[in-house]
Structure 1
Amino acid sequence: MPQYFSRLLAGPSLDAIPQETDFWHDRELSLFSCPSADADYALTALVFKISRNPKDLLAHLRRIYFCYDQRLSEQLYAALLDLMIILDGKGTAISRRMIQASQSRLLVQQCQDLLKTDGQTPLANRYSLFSKGLLASRELVRSRRQTEAQHDYLALANDFIEYSQLEQAMDVLETGINLQHDRPDLQLALLELYKSTKNRERFQLNRQRFSDSGVVLEGEWLELAHYFEGQAS
């Protein structure tokens, strides 16, 4: 079976990244610094993670840091707003700290809106994922469609694997196979994860599900079925 991932558990060593005292230069968040040519992909990947797991606080912080670092004021405003919405009145100290630390990259009105104390949710913009406004809802649907159409699911799965999030990597690959039936590389990568994690139950469930939905399964599915049968005997 082709080896799509050279390492399943190991990611970049955090010890190799110098620790900074500045709030915005957290060692782990600094892993998301990238050339401007890759900025769209990196931000889309972060948004995808948050949309799949809205309570992933670290992903929210990475998104905020990335938008701050790239000087994307509208996207930064949306990232801060989404964090506030998910916290739902909790974690006031951390959300205010993030807003105050972001002031130099926000418009004055954006800061004022985010720091409102009247209990009303600040007005959303088109980059917000979780606000209740119709504009945000339409943009979220469109954003998800664009992500499904444009994203390289294999690369995104590898991104999850870099942070040892193997369940999420399998989620991404399974979604990609459902949407892109003509991608055998997604199937082979998923099979590699099933085998590496010894997840026989998930393998059997999705083998049947893909077959029922008309996905043409690669021969390696049968090979892995035989492998799991041998493990069980």
Structure 2
Amino acid sequence: MAVFHSILVTDSQAETAANRSLWLDGELASFGYVPDSDAALAVLSVKVHRKPHDLTAHLRRIHHCYQQRHSAALYAAVLDLSIVLQGKGEALRRRMLNASRIRLEPRDFQILSALERHDPRQIGNRYSLLASGIQGRSDLLAPLATQSESNHDPLALANDFIEYSQLDQAMDVLEHAVGLYPQRGELQTALLELYRSTASRERFQTAWRTFNELAVPLVGDWQSVADYFDRQAS
């Protein structure tokens, strides 16, 4: 049976760590996301929405949906890849579609198999990101081995969540990032602004206590935010 692999799909069950690194987003673990959680899917979807021409982001989203047997989200992920490719990567699209077949509803597979007969705006579901249309680019077809992939900055990821009013997820990202990058004061500043704007006093106090226990060097604003919450409570 076909499985996801570094050469897209293969009949071999052999899989090395290097192969897995293509399909799995290491930042999910770094930021503490459970692989089978809705939050993990949200992160992968935000990355596709933020950089729709990033082929690796599409493949990781498809792989995640396939592994979690999330049929509706998998349909949307393959549809979004198809839209952004705009016919320039039909061989790739077909291989991903065929590899996903056993996880897709029969009707969804039929639709994806004959996209030229459908208006993408009419066949998206609630997980679709690009069904309203987007211009494809031929450089998506560059060999995967030659694509450079920069680390996604946690501040940029948090800003993406804020843009979609997912403030709890933004705080999750920043809290994990402060522990990973204690030298970056701007991460703490952004986190403190979120605590204040969302009136998250208890969450602030828990984070302040935890960072002190871990000996994380904190910027001076933590005390001023503590004073702010004390004034609000009085």
Q: Distance in 2 between matches of 1:219 and 1:53?
A: 35
Which residue in 2 is equivalent to 1:154? 174
The verdict on how the C-alpha distance between 1:171 and 1:147 changes in structure 2, with shifts beyond 3 A counting, is: farther
The alignment covers a number of residue pairs equal to 157
Aligned ranges 1:38-53 → 2 under 5 Å: 38-53=36-51
1:74 CA drift (Å): 0.3
Q: What code does the residue aligned with 1:44 have?
A: A
1:147 CA drift (Å): 2.7
What per-residue deviation string (whole Å, max 9, x for no partner) do you get for residues 83-136 of structure 1?
111112221111111011000000110001111153534400000011129xxx
Whether 1:101 aligns to 2:122 is: no
Which residue in 2 is equivalent to 1:211? none
Instruction: State whether residues 83 and 131 of structure 2, in contact with CA within 8 Å, keep that contact through their aligned partners in structure 1.
Output: yes
Q: Which runs of 5+ in 1 are unaligned?
A: 1-19, 134-141, 163-168, 186-217, 221-233
Instruction: State whether residues 34 and 40 of structure 2, in contact with CA within 8 Å, keep that contact through their aligned partners in structure 1.
Output: no
The verdict on how the C-alpha distance between 1:75 and 1:23 changes in structure 2, with shifts beyond 3 A counting, is: farther
Pick aligned residue for 2:12 from 3, 17, 21: 21
Q: What code does the residue aligned with 2:127 have?
A: Y
Aligned ranges 1:12-161 → 2 under 5 Å: 21-22=12-13, 26-28=19-21, 29-30=23-24, 38-122=36-120, 123-132=123-132, 145-151=164-170, 152-154=172-174
Q: Which runs of 5+ in 2 are unaligned?
A: 1-10, 134-160, 198-203, 208-218, 222-234
Which residue in 2 is equivalent to 1:194? none
Q: Distance in 2 between matches of 1:121 and 1:177?
A: 45
RMSD over aligned CA atoms reads 4.5
What per-residue deviation string (whole Å, max 9, x for no partner) do you get for residues 178-199 of structure 1?
765567x8xxxxxxxxxxxxxx
Q: What code does the residue aligned with 1:21 have?
A: S
Higher relative contact order by CA 8 Å / sep ≥ 6: 1 or 2? 1
Instruction: State whether residues 82 and 129 of structure 1, in contact with CA within 8 Å, keep that contact through their aligned partners in structure 2.
Output: yes
Sequence identity percentage: 38
What per-residue deviation string (whole Å, max 9, x for no partner) do you get for residues 17-43 of structure 1?
xxx934998421246698967522211
Q: What code does the residue aligned with 1:96 have?
A: R
Q: Distance in 1 between matches of 2:69 and 2:24?
A: 15
Q: Distance in 2 between matches of 1:103 and 1:172?
A: 42
